[in-house]
Chain A
């Protein structure tokens, strides 16, 4: 082997020399690098050196390809890691998951709190709306309807006075009437009944016969309250007024009063 290859081997450095001799003046002993490279590349020689280099470079190429592929893929990135690196990565991950769990429980608490408070706010709003409706009926700022009675007083002689109407209203209230109106004027706590110029003024508004009082309440209570002996109906009939009490299916009280804002009194809660 060796004796056969020896001349070949020996030729290697010399060959470029011979090729260069005609044109290169670089020096007889040293070929230029480019020429040496070309000489090493072009005439393929199956020398022992070339074969050995080929085998080693083959191994290098193999390793290079494997390593590039291993480094490029995410999955195998941890496989080649050192134990201490793996421990560090693991503890980092544990820290991180602990932090995230903390955050999660904080956020869950917050969410529960918010849901709770919004439920409470909703309930409070519902209650205050309900209360506003009830108070509106009492204060006369909203219309109301329901069971009740209608009292009609025909007064051809003009004998009915404010006192008698007030008696009727108070009788009805005492019997549990919740909303009242007389000829389209809502009757509330502050309503006034005044005799003026031979007529009746309710809240400074002239009310003429026939007087119609609509009252919402329990009819079984309201009607007897008016009809008791010596009561409202009887005393009006004594003055030649025609009184009729009816129980419609539903009584509608739709006369309204505007809510008055107090100028000086403020909420003290």
Chain B
């Protein structure tokens, strides 16, 4: 067995490509981190059903989202962060993922086709509206 069994010159192409993807992806993601006024956008079947400005949440609360088939997710909102606490989907990937708080992070529940995504910009804030009560 020679030493370079698990390393050939062409490997650098593959590792290099992954490194480029890693660095550019990190830069894109980091661009959205730490910004004020993160807005959680909740979509179901591709339609936006709710928009929560996490920077303006004073008290934590929970609500339930149900789709046409009766499948549900219970979403918990706390100041600056959001998570799924309970879901009817079999794998519970969304529940296990826990809290998300910074821009571009997302929680996806594929069986229920529910997506919670955090956007960096807060259009409400730019328009001069202090907040929206639901």
Q: Are A and B associated in one complex?
A: no
User: Which residues from chain B sit less than 8 Å from chain A, CB to CB?
Assistant: none
